[in-house]
Structure 1
Amino acid sequence: MAAENRNAMTKMRQSDDNRWIPMTSVASKTGKEVAPDVFYYTNQIVNVIMIGQPGGGNWILIDTGMPQCAEEIMHVAEGRFGEGNAPTAIILTHGHFDHVGNVVHLSEAWDVPVFAHTLEYPYLTGEKGYPAPDTSVEGGLLAKLSALYPHEAIDISKRLLPLPDGGAVPFLDEWRWVHVPGHSPGQIALFRERDRLLLSADAFVTVRQDALYKVLVQKEEVHGPPRYLTTDWTQARESLRRLCDLMPATVIAGHGQYMEGEALQQGLDELLQNFDELAKPDHGRFVD
């Protein structure tokens, strides 16, 4: 009870370095329906995912996009689910700035809980920030510019709840969560067995996220996690293997456009077999 009272009195806050990032892509402000009840919207360079039947009823928001974009995401949600129809909950795949950029505004405006893996809690309760992005890492221009990206802790203790043990996903009976650390300690992916639909977060992405031109034009390719924020490459490789074992038919990644079928499977096979050459950078603060 004492902990509940403390949470009730806690004032939520975004990180002190939370700010709008001047980055976009050709896919920005567009959305795609990948299944009748699964829709993703590209907010600048990151995807937010909405699960639920359009037009009304219960739905869940996966991640909250880039900083200072809450009104944009709320407008998209109203267009799909109806004005005033708040989600049942927000689920965070992890706590990096481009996935939690509007979590305070949205969870307060909608009055909903936020679920995350307990290993992400230190970064979501104000305890500590993530390591600063690695501008020294081997990669493209966006890696060099990553010092611009927020990385300090946010505090959403008031609304934060742990994901259940065992992989069950609150309010989504057909889905299960999979722990995929490496890019961040408590990163999760979401998988639905019925149609083998995978939400891979940043465990792997479908655009090379450190390369400015490829991000701008959204060049489709299966690629490893964003280099400038990935801190454990051994775990990242094992997380990729875990997702490959699911044999996904369709994937919506945290970055890039959705992929499916043979192109996806070939890309995953090649990435897993050649992880050190294709994903792991040659040098950087977090490289062994």
Structure 2
Amino acid sequence: MEKNEDEKFIPITSVSAGDGREELKDVFYYTNQIVNIVTIGSPKSDQWVLVDSGMPKSAGIIKKVVEERFGRDSKPRAILLTHGHFDHVGGLVDLLEEWAVNVYAHPFEFPFLTGEKSYPEPDPSVEGGMLAKISSIYPHEPISIKPFLKPLPADGRVPEFPEWEWIHTPGHSPGHVSFFRPTDSILLAGDAFITVKQDSLYKVLVQKEEIHGPPRYLTTDWKAAHDSVQKLAGLHPKVAITGHGNAMKGNALREGLRDLVENFRTKAIPSHGKYVEASQK
């Protein structure tokens, strides 16, 4: 296994950093600096999975969080990835060195998880706030977790928890996926849409809740991103936990998603940026 060559601690935080919240008895999320990790499974159970693995240098805090929830020396049955951007796999290699469990992702993400291909570089020229302007500092080189990497099952079920479904939601990355449980309509959206304006330093710091499209500086296919938001809105989720921002539910979630779908061009797609032009070709 190998970490990405440009791994570094990113000194960004928010008022939600360090908070853990239980949305349902078996669904918990924790904010690691500015990104959310999620666990599926009841507290103190040995039947649980981790969704995403946080910011660079985050393995230690993730271990503490899951030990508090599931018990000392507990490890997940598997790790699920929404995608492989630096802020969703930051602790992954270190965690696997201790846990040695399968990691499931969409095959389209494999090149970025096997050391074969770097993600497109973040775009600091894109329309947006301070976090967009400094995005050139964010890591984009691949990691390699070949010994543990497995494709998500072709039947759309989630390993260890077959009542959950995975849904291909590309745009932010080629193999981005979201996770959905039809029985209670809870959605783990990853970065397909988010509940904070991620390019704005102020709004990230205070975690102002508002539904947005995927982070602008790393989204490379805006047509696919729009299609993915439409797909998720069509599920009519009652609760959504996203990769960035606080969980949302009820009318705020429903109306926010409707508005995003109907006004995606003006609310999500930036007015300029190299991947905006590329998506229009």
What TM-score comes out, normalization by structure 2 length? Answer: 0.98
**Residue number in structure 2 paired with 1:69:** 58
**Residue number in structure 2 paired with 1:142:** 131
Asked if structure 2 preserves the Cα contact closer than 8 Å seen for 1:66 and 1:98, the reply is yes
**Residue number in structure 2 paired with 1:9:** none
TM-superposition CA deviations, 1:54-73 (whole Å, max 9, x none)? 01321100000000010000
Asked if structure 1 preserves the Cα contact closer than 8 Å seen for 2:46 and 2:75, the reply is no
**Residue number in structure 1 paired with 2:165:** 176
Letter in 2 for 1:267: G
Letter in 2 for 1:233: W
Letter in 2 for 1:119: F
**Residue number in structure 2 paired with 1:192:** 181
**Residue number in structure 2 paired with 1:281:** 270
Matched, 1:117 2:116: no
Looking at structure 1, the residues matched to 20 and 218 of structure 2 have their Cα atoms a distance apart, in angstroms, of 26
Please give the residue correspondences for 1:143-158 in structure 2 after superposition, counting only pairs within 5 Å: 143-158=132-147
Runs (4 or more) in structure 1 with deviation over 6 Å come to: none
SS at match of 1:178: strand
SS at match of 2:275: coil
Match of 1:55 among 33, 41, 44: 44
SS at match of 2:111: helix
Looking at structure 2, the residues matched to 76 and 29 of structure 1 have their Cα atoms a distance apart, in angstroms, of 9
Q: Percent identity?
A: 56
Looking at structure 2, the residues matched to 63 and 144 of structure 1 have their Cα atoms a distance apart, in angstroms, of 25
The runs of 5 or more residues in structure 2 that have no matched partner are none
Matched, 1:239 2:228: yes
**100-109 or 175-184: bigger deviation:** 100-109
Shift of residue 260, structure 1, vs aligned partner: 0.1
Asked if structure 2 preserves the Cα contact closer than 8 Å seen for 1:90 and 1:107, the reply is no
SS at match of 1:20: coil
Looking at structure 2, the residues matched to 174 and 164 of structure 1 have their Cα atoms a distance apart, in angstroms, of 13
Looking at structure 1, the residues matched to 212 and 106 of structure 2 have their Cα atoms a distance apart, in angstroms, of 24
Shift of residue 166, structure 1, vs aligned partner: 2.3
Looking at structure 1, the residues matched to 106 and 28 of structure 2 have their Cα atoms a distance apart, in angstroms, of 23
SS at match of 1:166: coil
Looking at structure 2, the residues matched to 201 and 211 of structure 1 have their Cα atoms a distance apart, in angstroms, of 18
Please give the residue correspondences for 1:1-288 in structure 2 after superposition, counting only pairs within 5 Å: 12-287=1-276, 288=280
Letter in 2 for 1:123: F
Aligned residues: 277
Looking at structure 2, the residues matched to 132 and 247 of structure 1 have their Cα atoms a distance apart, in angstroms, of 33
What TM-score comes out, normalization by structure 1 length? Answer: 0.95
Looking at structure 1, the residues matched to 10 and 64 of structure 2 have their Cα atoms a distance apart, in angstroms, of 20
Looking at structure 2, the residues matched to 130 and 55 of structure 1 have their Cα atoms a distance apart, in angstroms, of 37
